[in-house]
Structure 1
Amino acid sequence: MSEAAAAQTAQIDHLVVACRDLAQAAAWCEATFGVAAAPGGQHPLMGTHNLLLNLNDGIYVEMIAIDPSLPAPAGPRWFGLDDPAVRAAIDDRPQLVHWVARASQPLEGDADTAVRDFERSIYRWQMALPRTGDATAMRRLGGCLPLVIHWKTSEAGEVPHPTQTLPASHVRLRSFSLQHPDLPALRSGLRAIGFAPDPAVKTPVLPGTAPVLSAEFDAPSGPVSLTSPML
């Protein structure tokens, strides 16, 4: 293990809500949280685009959909957006399907993941993506094990993050729980990325009969609960 990997720690960066399209995402966000989502942008390498919602310091919600104006990528899109089960689940309404952990150090690939570089506007980042042609496998351990992101230093010498420029929403993440039938595998995966829960967000890791992500929020509309679908 390299010195950088040994020092690696990770925290919640954002929660991923898969959507049929961004019109559905915008309507759902306002109806669910009582606030409007902010514009995001396109991801040409993945054929997707998004809307964003600021939460606690350093955490946000990403509402993401396939962008029909972009060419399809060579492999499966991130977060299982090409998985037929995910596509069916989001036809009626957006669904919490995955999450992303923010790494403190630059990422290194391994036998299971490949590191890819992305850039949009002022933002530059790395993502460690599964080495797989299987859309279902893009949601690691059913979405309970996060993809890992590292936000890179800009040309100005800063490390821009979406929450620094997104408007305040007055929505706060209170808890985020993970349930999985293979608890040792989930805990081992979280240890491998150096995951350290945010003290302000309860993050229980629990046994369950199926992979389930559950998030609790305080919002202008009142308390909000999101639970991932059984896929």
Structure 2
Amino acid sequence: MLELDHIAVLGETLAEAVSHTEATLGAPLLPGGEHPDFGTHNQLLGLDDGLYLEAIAVDPAAATPGRARWFGLDQFSGPPRLDKWVCRVPDLDRALALLPMAGEAVSLSRGSLRWRMAVPRDGILPFAGMFPALIEWQSPVPPGLALPASGARLDRLSVAHPEAEALAALLVPHLTAPVVEFVTEAVPALRGSFTTPRGIRVLQ
């Protein structure tokens, strides 16, 4: 029911998030766009296996949104880092009936893209942000299939949290994502291990 859709690198600025990603993976990110509903903007990188990566940050040119920004960006600070993972679901309402802590459904669009996303009222996902954001694509060709391949493949996504076992117990019964592992560590964090044309790279 839950499949890994994409991962997100957050930054205090989009330039910082993009630079961190490009320096680690050795591939240029492509233009993305703006999200007026949340006052953010992004750039994108196509990965193998229908996955993709987005670098995202608060858009300083956007009006202040009338609600908390998604991905906890209102509270984000520090160096850019891999900070969020997003799972697609075929039916967001059904997914939220099973996992109501994911947030409330919000309908969004940009250009030809249409989607619904679960966003907590305060913008902060459970388990210190290590709980995945849930997305239901309503476009026939989502970004993971539309973006050109960069030559980078995500081999392993490690979700670290002091209560990793509890997080896994919530998600694993519904999750189809062989690359995802849950590890018990003192500090919540994401780590992505990639095979790239330049060799193995770890993004965190």
Q: Is the TM value for this pair above 0.5? A: yes
Q: Which residue of 2 aligns with 1:6?
A: none
Q: Which residue of 2 aligns with 1:70?
A: 62
Q: What does 1:138-157 correspond to in 2, within 5 Å? A: 138-153=124-139
* Structure 2 residue 166 is the aligned partner of structure 1 residue 185: yes
* Structure 2 residue 10 is the aligned partner of structure 1 residue 33: no
Q: Please tell me whether the aligned partners of residues 5 and 86 of structure 2 are also in contact (alpha carbons under 8 angstroms).
A: yes
* Structure 2 residue 184 is the aligned partner of structure 1 residue 207: yes
Q: Which residue of 1 aligns with 2:142?
A: 161
Aligned-partner residue type, residue 206 of structure 1: V
Q: Please tell me whether the aligned partners of residues 32 and 221 of structure 1 are also in contact (alpha carbons under 8 angstroms).
A: no
TM-score by length of 1: 0.79
Q: Which residue of 2 aligns with 1:127?
A: 117
Distance 1:66 1:152 in 2: 25
Query: What's the Cα RMSD here?
Result: 1.9
State the percentage of identical aligned residues. Answer: 37
Greater Rg over alpha carbons, structure = 1
Q: Which runs of 5+ in 1 are unaligned?
A: 1-8, 154-158
TM-score by length of 2: 0.89
Aligned-partner residue type, residue 112 of structure 2: I
In structure 2, relative to structure 1, the CA distance for the partners of 1:105 and 1:71 (3 Å cut) is: same
Deviations 1:74-95 (A, max 9, x none): 2221111111xx32x13xxx21
Distance 1:18 1:29 in 2: 10
Q: Which residue of 1 aligns with 2:197?
A: 220
Deviation at 1:206, TM superposition (A): 2.2
Deviation at 1:69, TM superposition (A): 1.3
- Describe the SS at the equivalent of 1:189: helix
Deviation at 1:224, TM superposition (A): 1.1
Structure (1/2) with the larger strand percentage: 2
Deviation at 1:180, TM superposition (A): 1.7
Deviation at 1:186, TM superposition (A): 0.4
Number of equivalenced pairs: 200
